[in-house]
A and B are shown apart, each in its own frame.
Chain A
């Protein structure tokens, strides 16, 4: 399918160092069980007869679709033979299904043409009959009529024009197409790029049931965000074969960025930005910068995404681990323990709370990080968590693989947790709504590229695959085991993403007027993931050998059938860029309300007119003047006090000089004999001296002429 893999495919099998995961000799000790307390590995045994569980609805459905055959005037029996062929070509469909279980049929009214004719005017019209529509809120049986890339009608007994291509879904699930919120296709790294470009990557996405991706633009630190955006935009327009949108990563915070951000949000349709708390060598922001960035992005109504890891500590740990002589991929996970992830998540949410800014945590990889998010949400924080395919499907024990290339294949940041109960836990949180969306963080580097870091784990390019496997893994790990229902499945794979990134209801829902991005899902199909059969250009797959229940049968993108029969029918550049608007309701509604409620008021009190200790010159212990050196960006106004200082020259200054007690200063310096001597009552006229102006050494108590404590005793 692609030339990049050619090198490897000459051999019949995969290179031996890409053996199936799960066979490592040295794994970290196992920890406590997850939420569902399942026996580990129990799911991997696929001998349970799941057919018995999952159908049943079909039986009730079939008579109904039969009854409508008259409308189409096409005989069921005629296509029935096609069906068996169709399902036969499926990678490994359960062979022993009951005979009457219908497959999916695609019928043309005008002879048996080639199924896909995208250029054909007629093919824009499509009727999906007898499917069970699954939205995030409900499931129901209805037919769907698609035209011009939009869903035009939903319901029964639709009146459609003649000559429409019809898909007979036979009671199968019809889902909104998946949205992968986190991909890195064609990401440059040290002069090379990931092996999956926008074409290869989106093909893989479509093959997995994902009809939209949101890719990350990673500008060079210090470089222009706009230029980087344009570059990505161009590359994706040329190659992407599904709809896409873009996040822009803010790799450095400075004054110029603000303007660019405004342009991006207002003119370019980019409303989500990622900031980094790790990568000391370039991307990382200080807490102050995060505060500023959050404040600014909140004002724009953007979604703030955070790569949450404590970069300072990672840098220290990397240093330590390298100096211990650990250079292999296990050093990666040892230097990035999950505590550092949860610490950063906690910090990010804290900062977000202060500013009343929503926080979106990308790549939730560990139980503790997920728990922090769940706890914060329970306390009312507006926080979202995005586990990725890898963290939902596998764990970090493979970093200890004896096989370097296999261990390196798992290197991503934050790393996969070595705790093997992590995937279960994350799936559980996803099921109960504590985590909301799933991404893939698909960032595919070939083994040769990974080998850049063969002598130093810090140089291994980071990223795992997962764009194609995402939907299947969530289905297999969460729905098939009963943690999650099909509606929640739609929510976490598509709807929530559409809501957070303000694409709803255009995307993420099957409704009239929505985009015709639809997946017909087969919950029973069992697929074995393998690098041999995947659509990515990688020569490995971190889920190698995993059997997943649940796979797309038909994928419709922009109203066109792009995947059926296990075959893709796409061409480069057919994907559109979907611009987005700021202030998504799902994220900002609460924020807006809180903004109104959270106004802070000072206490109105009378002026303090008691004695004031006079601060000597050159204050040694200045309370940190906040804005002065806060960050490279010098946007903050100087402390308010200074304004006073300049235009507040009272006559008191001259008075005060005459009231210095020359002896006192020296006495103080000598030995702090007794505290009482620090005061002296000196009546001075014009007491509103700005006490912060360092005037001279020696200190005094200034009493107002009329005695003390007049207004202050109001309370």
Chain B
């Protein structure tokens, strides 16, 4: 699956410098407990008998599925399906516990024959369907990649392949709203291309990804978009959609953005508040972009970090001689993330535009978002797998390669209570969606920055682990119920992308992207077994409860028995439409309410003091200085030269000249008709 990994796999084990996370010698001091105030590390001890907690429903269900078993009496390939290539932690299951069975009507063919006509039809029997709003038992009949029927005792044509779910959870396939697959970087690309990456996604229960198109600053957005389309169409094996990053802002960008929204099916754009002199936008540009996108009905995503201060801090760190990966997190403290989030929310609220904060990495940034939501702002926060599953203490690892593996921006917070806290906010609805920000560079690529942390390419893995991390950290611990799990891994993302209910819901007419989820499976994350091409994994050694048993994408079984059956290029591009209700309903209502009106008053006709007409800028030339890097000279100077009025030239001196304090030269001009006529209206 990954030739890139070969170099490492020759050795029996991983190189020793990829030891299990959590064993660093030097970690920052620990802070107070998180929201749930649990004892840290309590979850890592998996000795609690979760089987006792989680089943119970099965027994009530099995009778029902048992009653329908006569529909297809074909061979039961027992037991081995129950544990799909994972160490089933539920070794102690009672014998009556049914696994998943897949039965084909016509003999024992190989299960996957994607090109056969019959295989387009699929019946999932006896599953417990979990949507974001409710859970219920029903059978699902799938045809042509769509969910055709839902309910009990469905009437289906003969010869249908049947999956006996035996009461297991059937959830809408996950949507990973943030990936960077095959991202070009300094002449190379990330090691996971669209094929490798989407395979990993499917293996983790994610059936749709939304990748970021990153045009080079100054280059055409549309061209970049087309290039990404080409790459993805060729390789992706699950459905995908694309965000476009706005890396520079000009009038031509405006047109391109409009084209992308109206013709190309892109409805979300990322802007950067960091990466000074490269991607970073000024406040004015942000204001213009937000206004513009708000009118077109797009979702504005921000990479929220204060790039100016980061640039300064980076210089300071390097001057202090800190060149290792710890410099990365030291120069990008979470305050700067929170500050930028706050600023972005302010701008969005001024422009009445919905805001989407990508990569929420710290408690303080998450707090800002939840506070803003409480104040009524339309803002969505996206924590990522890494911030939900691990923390930034590893930047202090003695092992350079390991420390570098965690480098991403905004960085993981060194506060070890962060993952718990973010999971809590995700559970309470203050954060809405989860992405992975999967952007994998090999250690050799990371080593570009071995002597200077600012050169380390940024990105962590997480596309495969996303669903399991959330299940393990939030659902297993009781923070979140299964419906909310579906909401944050799939439904909310679909709503924001305006793909709901086509995606993100199990309903008649929806795409048949389904996952049969085994809530009890325990899997140990390791670079040896993962599907990504990287030779490390930031979650290395983490035991995660919850894993997909069967993944159905576009009506086809792509994962079962722990084996993937994928075809390059089988993924489709899913066009998104603007004005998603989830984000824009409130915005539209507010637009109608927020009409500003002037106060009707009579003209002021009182005295007007004379002044040197060196107007202090007056109306700002809004878009005049959109150039990303250099500041235009103060507007005032322009006025200065071009505005030679007749009035006393002595007083409008060069700025450097002393302005006279002139107590004497004040004059009051009274209009001929006396004063205060119309002004006394009130």
A interface vs B, CB < 8 Å? 7, 15-17, 19, 23, 25-26, 186, 188-193, 195, 197, 220-224, 227, 231, 235, 279-282, 286-288, 291-292, 310, 312-313, 315-319, 321-322, 324-328, 330-331, 334, 337, 339-340, 342-343, 346-347, 350-351, 353-354, 400-405, 407-408, 446-449, 451-452, 454, 456, 458-459, 600-608, 610-613, 615-616, 619-630, 632, 636-637, 639-641, 644, 668, 672, 674-679, 681, 690-692, 697, 699, 701, 708-709, 712-715
Cross-chain contact of A337 among B350, B610, B682 (Cβ < 8 A): B350
B175 → A minimal CB distance (Å)? 24
- Residue among B19, B610, B651 facing the most chain A CB atoms (10 A cut-off): B610
A447–B606 touching, CB < 8 Å = yes
B399–A612 touching, CB < 8 Å = no
B interface vs A, CB < 8 Å? 2-4, 6-7, 15-17, 19, 24-26, 182, 184-193, 196, 216, 231, 275-278, 280, 282-284, 287-288, 306-315, 317-324, 326-327, 330, 333, 335-336, 338-339, 342-343, 346-347, 349-350, 396-404, 442-445, 447-452, 454-455, 533, 596-604, 606-620, 622, 629-631, 634-636, 648, 651-652, 655-663, 665-666, 668-669, 675-676, 679-682
B189–A675 touching, CB < 8 Å = yes
A451–B312 touching, CB < 8 Å = no
Instruction: Give complex CA distance A677, B191 in Å.
Output: 10
B616–A190 touching, CB < 8 Å = yes
Q: B322 — nearest CB in chain A belongs to which residue? A: A602
B346–A343 touching, CB < 8 Å = yes
- Residue among A26, A400, A625 facing the most chain B CB atoms (10 A cut-off): A625
Instruction: Give complex CA distance A353, B313 in Å.
Output: 12
Cross-chain contact of A448 among B188, B231, B669 (Cβ < 8 A): B669
A611–B599 touching, CB < 8 Å = no
B338–A350 touching, CB < 8 Å = yes
Pairs of residues from A and B, 4 with the lowest C-beta to C-beta distance, nearest first: A281-B617, A676-B3, A715-B398, A315-B620
Across the interface, which residues of B come within 8 angstroms of A15, CB to CB? 606, 675-676, 680
B362 → A minimal CB distance (Å)? 13
B604–A678 touching, CB < 8 Å = no
A339–B659 touching, CB < 8 Å = no
Cross-chain contact of B7 among A282, A313, A354, A679 (Cβ < 8 A): A679
Across the interface, which residues of A come within 8 angstroms of B397, CB to CB? 603, 715
Across the interface, which residues of A come within 8 angstroms of B192, CB to CB? 675
A192-B611, A354-B333, A630-B311 are known contacts. Are A615 and B186 too (CB-CB below 8 A)? yes
Q: List 22 A-B contacts (CB under 8 A).
A: A15-B606, A25-B682, A186-B663, A190-B613, A220-B657, A281-B620, A328-B598, A340-B350, A350-B336, A446-B609, A600-B330, A603-B403, A612-B448, A623-B449, A626-B311, A626-B312, A632-B631, A636-B315, A672-B182, A676-B3, A692-B452, A715-B402
A26-B599, A620-B216 are known contacts. Are A316 and B401 too (CB-CB below 8 A)? no
Instruction: Give complex CA distance A690, B454 in Å.
Output: 14
Q: B443 — nearest CB in chain A belongs to which residue? A: A610
A220-B659, A451-B608 are known contacts. Are A612 and B450 too (CB-CB below 8 A)? yes
A359 → B minimal CB distance (Å)? 13
B295 → A minimal CB distance (Å)? 13
Across the interface, which residues of B come within 8 angstroms of A681, CB to CB? 7
A447–B447 touching, CB < 8 Å = no
- Residue among A26, A287, A403, A607 facing the most chain B CB atoms (10 A cut-off): A287
A339–B312 touching, CB < 8 Å = no
Instruction: Give complex CA distance A447, B189 in Å.
Output: 65
A626–B17 touching, CB < 8 Å = no
Across the interface, which residues of A come within 8 angstroms of B606, CB to CB? 15, 17, 405, 447-448, 451
Instruction: Give complex CA distance A16, B602 in Å.
Output: 14
Across the interface, which residues of B come within 8 angstroms of A690, CB to CB? 451
B219 → A minimal CB distance (Å)? 10
A186-B661, A281-B635, A402-B681 are known contacts. Are A623 and B455 too (CB-CB below 8 A)? yes
Q: A317 — nearest CB in chain B belongs to which residue? A: B350
Across the interface, which residues of A come within 8 angstroms of B347, CB to CB? 313
Instruction: Give complex CA distance A189, B610 in Å.
Output: 11
A316–B193 touching, CB < 8 Å = no
- Residue among A224, A317, A340, A675 facing the most chain B CB atoms (10 A cut-off): A675
B620–A331 touching, CB < 8 Å = no
A343-B343, A451-B609, A692-B452 are known contacts. Are A405 and B679 too (CB-CB below 8 A)? yes
A459–B350 touching, CB < 8 Å = no
Across the interface, which residues of B come within 8 angstroms of A448, CB to CB? 606-609, 668-669
B335–A709 touching, CB < 8 Å = no
Cross-chain contact of A699 among B187, B321, B610, B612 (Cβ < 8 A): B187
Instruction: Give complex CA distance A591, B597 in Å.
Output: 47
A15-B676, A312-B282, A678-B4 are known contacts. Are A193 and B662 too (CB-CB below 8 A)? yes
A316–B620 touching, CB < 8 Å = yes
Across the interface, which residues of A come within 8 angstroms of B596, CB to CB? 321, 324, 326, 334
- Residue among B184, B630, B655, B660 facing the most chain A CB atoms (10 A cut-off): B655
B598–A713 touching, CB < 8 Å = no
Across the interface, which residues of A come within 8 angstroms of B454, CB to CB? 623-626
A15-B675, A608-B450 are known contacts. Are A626 and B617 too (CB-CB below 8 A)? no
A676–B634 touching, CB < 8 Å = no
A373 → B minimal CB distance (Å)? 14
Instruction: Give complex CA distance A259, B655 in Å.
Output: 20
A408 → B minimal CB distance (Å)? 8
A340-B346, A639-B318 are known contacts. Are A603 and B679 too (CB-CB below 8 A)? no
B401–A608 touching, CB < 8 Å = yes
Cross-chain contact of A600 among B315, B317, B398, B399 (Cβ < 8 A): B317
Across the interface, which residues of A come within 8 angstroms of B321, CB to CB? 602
Q: A311 — nearest CB in chain B belongs to which residue? A: B283
B668–A7 touching, CB < 8 Å = yes
B612–A613 touching, CB < 8 Å = no
B21 → A minimal CB distance (Å)? 12
Instruction: Give complex CA distance A73, B271 in Å.
Output: 82
- Residue among A326, A353, A612, A630 facing the most chain B CB atoms (10 A cut-off): A612
A350–B335 touching, CB < 8 Å = yes
Q: B632 — nearest CB in chain A belongs to which residue? A: A280
Q: B614 — nearest CB in chain A belongs to which residue? A: A190
Q: A616 — nearest CB in chain B belongs to which residue? A: B187
Q: B440 — nearest CB in chain A belongs to which residue? A: A675
A319–B619 touching, CB < 8 Å = yes
A354–B450 touching, CB < 8 Å = no
Across the interface, which residues of A come within 8 angstroms of B17, CB to CB? 610, 709, 712-713, 715
A449 → B minimal CB distance (Å)? 4
B336–A403 touching, CB < 8 Å = no
A627 → B minimal CB distance (Å)? 5
Across the interface, which residues of B come within 8 angstroms of A709, CB to CB? 15-17, 401
A313-B347, A403-B679, A681-B7 are known contacts. Are A354 and B277 too (CB-CB below 8 A)? no
Q: B607 — nearest CB in chain A belongs to which residue? A: A448
Taking A328-B599, A602-B321, A615-B448 as given, write out 4 further A-B residue pairs in contact, using a Cβ cutoff of 8 Å, ordered by the A residue number. A191-B611, A310-B343, A674-B193, A675-B533
Across the interface, which residues of A come within 8 angstroms of B658, CB to CB? 223, 227, 231
Across the interface, which residues of B come within 8 angstroms of A197, CB to CB? 663
Instruction: Give complex CA distance A230, B679 in Å.
Output: 41
Instruction: Give complex CA distance A604, B196 in Å.
Output: 36
A192–B610 touching, CB < 8 Å = yes
B32 → A minimal CB distance (Å)? 12
Q: B611 — nearest CB in chain A belongs to which residue? A: A190
Across the interface, which residues of B come within 8 angstroms of A446, CB to CB? 609, 668
Across the interface, which residues of A come within 8 angstroms of B663, CB to CB? 186, 193, 197
- Residue among B188, B310, B609 facing the most chain A CB atoms (10 A cut-off): B609
Cross-chain contact of B655 among A25, A223, A602, A708 (Cβ < 8 A): A223
Across the interface, which residues of A come within 8 angstroms of B533, CB to CB? 675-676
Q: A712 — nearest CB in chain B belongs to which residue? A: B17
Instruction: Give complex CA distance A627, B191 in Å.
Output: 31
Instruction: Give complex CA distance A291, B308 in Å.
Output: 9
B449 → A minimal CB distance (Å)? 8
Instruction: Give complex CA distance A619, B454 in Å.
Output: 14
Cross-chain contact of A616 among B25, B186, B346, B669 (Cβ < 8 A): B186
